[in-house]
Homo-oligomer: A and B are copies of this chain.
Amino acid sequence: MSRSRVVIVGAGFGGLACARALAGKPVDVLLLDRHNYHLFTPLLYQVASSLLNPSDIAYPIRAVFRRAANVRVRVAEVLGADFEERVVVTRKGKGEPGDGGNAAAAGHRIPYDYLVLASGSTNNFFGIRPVEEHALPLKDLPDAMALRNHVLTCFEAASRVSDEVARQSWLTFVLVGAGPTGVELAGAFSELIRLVLVKDFPELDMGKVRIVLVEGRDEVLPAFPRPLGADARLRLQRRNIEVRLSARVTDLSGDTITLSDGERITAKTLVWAAGVKPGDLAQTLALPATRSGRVQVDACLRVTGQERVFAIGDIAAVPYQGGEMPMLSAPAIQEGRYVARSILSLERAKPVEPFRYRDKGIMATIGRHAAVAQLGRLRFTGFVGWAMWLLVHLYFIIGFRNRIVVLVEWAWDYFRYDRPIRLIERARGLSSIV
């Protein structure tokens, strides 16, 4: 009897956890992703702020499964599926017979016995068109590199212009969304500028730099317990980061950003960290979705109406506390492991228990000696929270070498106030001048 084949779509936190849990087990696994790397997204903001290299947080997927003979990896994009035939269809590449056409019929047909959908989420611009066109998001590696290049370019441009108004617009950074991404990025930019770039640009008055953090709700880190959000806000303000609560960006025209309270800010930089939404896989595969766009699943994470198709992570509407599971890495990882166990149980014709999420906590850092964390019933702030943040993140980085490298980069920055990765790296074909 041939072994069952599990096809996993997406090598983010959920898909990777699922494939790892199936490594060495009596099934064949094919892991598909659009990239050849798994991305440790919680540290993306450190790539954007010149602290880490892309290779510190991006890990080649094939390297993860070198010793797992039953797990194969393929760089591919899913175009469709035939659930009757149990086949997923991926796009053909350049130079392959039958490429070019987007029709699912023209792609590679990959059979499965179990299908795990873990394709994740994408930026949510809430339909504000000028923001979608001109704001800088921070969701994947190209975003982080584009943001790093942009911020460094702003200082080069500011050092060249003689007009005061123009210079101020290059030195004003508006960040939208005070969730962990927005808060951590604001803190990281502040340190990059105050501690590192200040030595590079003696010709600039760094007192003129403005970092404005805009949040629609009435506190920063709204997903955190209220006292932790208040602590984070104080620490941000102590770093001269301007916090605008209960405010939204309503328009962007040229360099002028308009907030819902009527305030106008002239800035060359608008970073969008205001939220994510599920990718369009539910639509592509014509699967039942909730109002949020996430795939409907039952208590065992099976897609509604499908016996052998699971959905996990940001793409799945997993019921939780009367609503849907938050789009975070922790539930995605637990769901991935759970589905792996479920598949192995089904293979052995054993019963499957419903999925239960174990909330282990939440944390965010503002900078040196400053972080907030809720772990179980315990809350930490300041230096202790910061030390815990460092330990937890080092622990979750994949690979011994990357842990060491990241530790060295952090130590170098901590003791030397220096970030040598502040390169404006332009991709070939783009203009070489600001």
Q: Which residues of A contact B (CB under 8 A)?
A: 34-37, 53-55, 58-60, 62-63, 66, 69, 72, 74-77, 91, 93-97, 108, 141-143, 145-146, 152, 156-157, 159-161, 163, 166, 169-170, 199-203, 255, 268, 399, 401-402, 405, 408, 412, 418, 420-430, 432-434
Contacts and interface: CB of A to CB of B under 8 A. Distances in A.
Nearest to A254: B95
A36 B150 CA distance: 12
A434 B94 contact: yes
A106 to B, nearest CB: 14
A292 to B, nearest CB: 24
A426 B142 contact: yes
B145 A425 contact: yes
B35 A424 contact: yes
Given A35-B424, A77-B432, A426-B142, A95 B60 contact: no
B91 A433 contact: yes
B432 A34 contact: yes
B93 A427 contact: no
B434 A420 contact: no
Contacts of A74: 156, 159-160
A-B pairs with lowest CB-CB distance, top 6 = A427-B427, A93-B434, A142-B428, A62-B200, A55-B421, A75-B156
A96 B152 contact: no
Contacts of A199: 66
Contacts of A77: 432-433
A420 B160 contact: no
Given A93-B160, A95-B161, 17 more contacts: A36-B423, A53-B54, A53-B55, A55-B423, A58-B423, A62-B201, A63-B418, A63-B422, A74-B159, A93-B433, A93-B434, A108-B160, A142-B428, A143-B428, A146-B428, A401-B420, A402-B420
8 contacts: A35-B424, A36-B156, A37-B423, A74-B159, A76-B433, A77-B433, A142-B426, A427-B430
A426 B408 CA distance: 26
A37 B424 CA distance: 8
B203 A425 contact: no
Residue from A145, A169, A427 whose CB has the most chain B CB atoms within 10 Å = A427
Nearest to A202: B69
A141 B36 CA distance: 21
A96 to B, nearest CB: 6
Contact of A66 (B157, B200, B268, B427): B200
